Amino acid sequence: MTASAAGEAGHGLVTAPDTVALAARTPDRAQPHAELGLTDAEYASVGGLLGRRPTDSELAIYSVMWSEHCSYKSSRVHLRQFAEKAPPTTSLLAGIGDNAGVVDIGQGYAVTFKIESHNHPSYVEPFQGAATGVGGIVRDILAMGARPVAVMDALRFGAVDAPDTRRVLPGVVGGISFYGNCLGLPNIGGELAFDPCYSGNPLVNALCVGVLRHQDLKLAAARGPGNQVVLLGSPTGPDGIGGASVLASASFGGGGETAKRPNVQVGDPFMEKLLIECCLELYAAGVVVAIQDLGAAGIACATSELAAAGGTGMAVTLDLVPLRDPSLGPAEILMSESQERMMAIVEPGALEKFAEICARWDVPATVIGEVTGTGRLIATWRGEVVVDIPPESAAEGPLYQRPLRRPAGQDGRLADDPAPLADAARSGPGLADRLRADLLALLGSPAGADKAWVTEQYDSYVRGNTVQATPHDAGVLRIDEETFLGIALATDGNGRFCLLDPYAGTQLALAEAYRNVAASGARPLAVTNCLNFGSPEDPEVMWQFAEAVRGLADGCLALGVPVTGGNVSFYNQTQDEAIQPTPVIGVLGVFADVRRRLASGFGAPGEQIMLLGTTAPEFGGSLWASVVHCHLGGRPPAVDLAAERRLAEVLAGAAEAGLLSAAHDLSDGGLGVALAECCLTGADGPARSGDGIGCTVDLGTDPFTALFSESPGRALVAVRDGQREAFARLCAEHGVPAQPIGFTGGDELAVAGAFSVPVGELAAARRGTLGELFG
């Protein structure tokens, strides 16, 4: 079957007719550049670049491609630090500027991973907004030539009992679980946090990880004049038009465009599953020169970025784009963010084979143009040229050095130290009862509560290669079934710390994700990020952003892990009230053998519990201060990245040597929450009826600080019988303080000389919060 015949039969490829371009024409009327998100200066710049007034379709392209979402026009000047300060590495195969970062993990395997935001769509339409967030990040991974193998999500909502949270959270969780479960991708971890600052602006950050062989890497660069441009997947509809430029209601006039289009995409995971398998077979057949997913800005983005990256030109015929809505005009076709679409560059001689594979998977594919040597992106519609631009002018966009200003209240926040509250709490009568009550309050708070109501809606073990998932410190996947090569992934962020000090707070988030991966027994290898902030037009927000980026770049250099890519999400605010600065950091680690991974919970009685690291009275921004006193102030805990690196060496080395049965990082809520989680998690998963393994610990003369300080660089471990001396030697070799504090066993968490809580009561305190509100 020829490509043309396949197209006529309803499958495969439809080839472009030989049409000649006519002169571009634009009616003599005002253009809605401001409604499209372009400033007057940017609109004038477009005219200067082209030497004429843009057509409506060209204006559409520049409006979406020059948006913050696509161009990173306010953030690029800061993001350069990730390359300038990158630590030396030989593992990075693709990084910043590509669809996703790719790292070598050994044995000929590579892993690609990335996290992106879908915040605003998830507020407008929670189910579809979250679902298509998953679909979009999966296609980013697919576009690198990899098979997607797992997803994660980092979620933040307003106050847990607020009506808005009750509307948004169930829809978001439902959308994530629906799309991921339909694709057959395990959801192996993530975060769930609540704070009033996210009311009206939830954060829905989706991560995907994929696996490929080194030789299968694909890049999005259209090369080879005469090669064909093929659009494959779902037909193009009106959903998501202008989403990247935060616009849903601009009217271009003419061509049948309506005055208002929906601004949230609609997902079809079953088509995406077909698209994944089809693309993987196309890659294996060697018929793809380059490929790009269609997400934000749709065809406008894919054509301009492919051509710009290849240093070539491209000519496309928009009439050939398969439409779900025949009333769409050229500008809307270019801007549509309809889901489940990819754009491939294919050699003419490979079209027939390409068509056969697409037909076998029932994935529509249409030739809509070809690569040229003109250096121009040209699009025609009904015989007229509606786009004639240099593609790099759209792909690169403007670059801004936004003004920065330290927030007026920053010094006041730092000075408002909770130390007096802590001093009062650790002294006076009734200390034992107070410690017990405060621990149960933290466990029952939204931050400390069991997240099973959410995570049980996800399939964490589909595909059979999940070794460990929520509630353990990191998700763990087996990559090779014979050698047991594997990876670990964790995401972390803390808006409270970043509000107090965005530089230190971002490093604390990085350190926590790094530590979580190490606590699973893996060796941290690379970083991705999703940087969620308010308006870049606010100098105080830009100061927070600049400090956070500087902190992450410096932190990655100190830890020896490169930033492979990520996402920036601005304009996260309700009216003039910005969210807390919330950089979410994802860390990837590698196992030589996943059978050596560490669980986060106690697995057997009689094992020695040791506390690694140093504890100081650090309560600024702590969960204890927030939950017990509704207080947010002071300096966040002091991060020591050299100590974090030494701790990671001990944890990974101990796992490889079989010295430990469990390890759990200390973070939100400090040692008290960590002990309770270890009692309730177990080696195989969460205890549901109080049947976990208890422990007895001695915390010395200041149990309050020991329980609730959030000093970083610490972990709780259970040492296997007969391995105490070997583990002590390993800690000493790396200069990591290691303090024996007790033993596992029994049916309660007992703090010697202070209080005890039955494991069943710990479980009840943690389970109640989300289950009662949403169950």
List of residues 6+ apart from 437 with CB closer than 8 A = none
SS3 (DSSP) at 513: helix
Helix (H) or strand (E) holding 517: helix 502-519
Given a contact cutoff of 8 angstroms between Cβ atoms, the answer to whether 12 and 1 are in contact is yes
List of residues 6+ apart from 472 with CB closer than 8 A = 189, 520, 599, 600, 601, 681
SS3 (DSSP) at 346: strand
Query: Given the structure tokens 């034992």, which residue do they identify?
Result: 432
Given a contact cutoff of 8 angstroms between Cβ atoms, the answer to whether 73 and 398 are in contact is yes
Q: From CA 104, how far away is CA 569, in angstroms rounded?
A: 28
Given a contact cutoff of 8 angstroms between Cβ atoms, the answer to whether 504 and 636 are in contact is yes
Given a contact cutoff of 8 angstroms between Cβ atoms, the answer to whether 128 and 175 are in contact is yes
Instruction: Give residue 222's identity as a one-letter amino acid code.
Output: A
529's tokens: 């990020």
Q: What are phi and psi of 679, to 5 degrees?
A: -65, -35
363's tokens: 């994935």
79's tokens: 């993001």
Q: From CA 210, how far away is CA 205, in angstroms rounded?
A: 17
List of residues 6+ apart from 295 with CB closer than 8 A = 136, 139, 140, 301, 337
Q: What is the CA radius of gyration of the chain?
A: 27
Given a contact cutoff of 8 angstroms between Cβ atoms, the answer to whether 755 and 436 are in contact is yes
Q: From CA 191, how far away is CA 208, in angstroms rounded?
A: 14
Q: From CA 175, how far away is CA 180, in angstroms rounded?
A: 8
Task: Locate all alpha helices (DSSP H) within 34-162, ordered by sequence.
Answer: 40-50, 56-65, 68-71, 76-79, 81-84, 119-124, 126-142
Q: Has 631 been annotated as catalytic?
A: no
Task: Locate all alpha helices (DSSP H) within 256-329, ordered by sequence.
Answer: 269-285, 298-310
SS3 (DSSP) at 57: helix
Q: What are phi and psi of 455, to 5 degrees?
A: -70, -25
Please report how the helices 56-65 and 298-310 are oriented relative to each other, as an axis angle in degrees rounded to 10.
80
User: What pairing do the DSSP bridges indicate for beta strands 695-697 and 738-744?
Assistant: antiparallel
* Degrees, nearest 5: CA angle 581-582-587: 145
Q: From CA 428, how far away is CA 704, in angstroms rounded?
A: 12
Q: From CA 88, how far away is CA 302, in angstroms rounded?
A: 32
Residue 572's nearest CA partner among 244, 242, 203 is 203
SS3 (DSSP) at 92: strand
Given a contact cutoff of 8 angstroms between Cβ atoms, the answer to whether 717 and 650 are in contact is no
User: What pairing do the DSSP bridges indicate for beta strands 313-317 and 377-381?
Assistant: parallel
Instruction: Give residue 120's identity as a one-letter amino acid code.
Output: H
- Judged by phi (left if over 0) then psi (alpha if -120 to 50, else beta), residue 466 lies in beta
Options 33, 78, 118, 664, the catalytic residue: 118
Q: Has 472 been annotated as catalytic?
A: no
178's tokens: 């629906």
Given a contact cutoff of 8 angstroms between Cβ atoms, the answer to whether 569 and 536 are in contact is no
Query: Given the structure tokens 């007790």, which residue do they identify?
Result: 742
Distances (CA, A) of 618 to 284, 417, 596, 634, 711: 54, 10, 33, 9, 6
Preceding amide of 703 cis, omega within 30: no
Options 69, 120, 472, 631, the catalytic residue: 69
Catalytic (active-site) positions: 69, 118
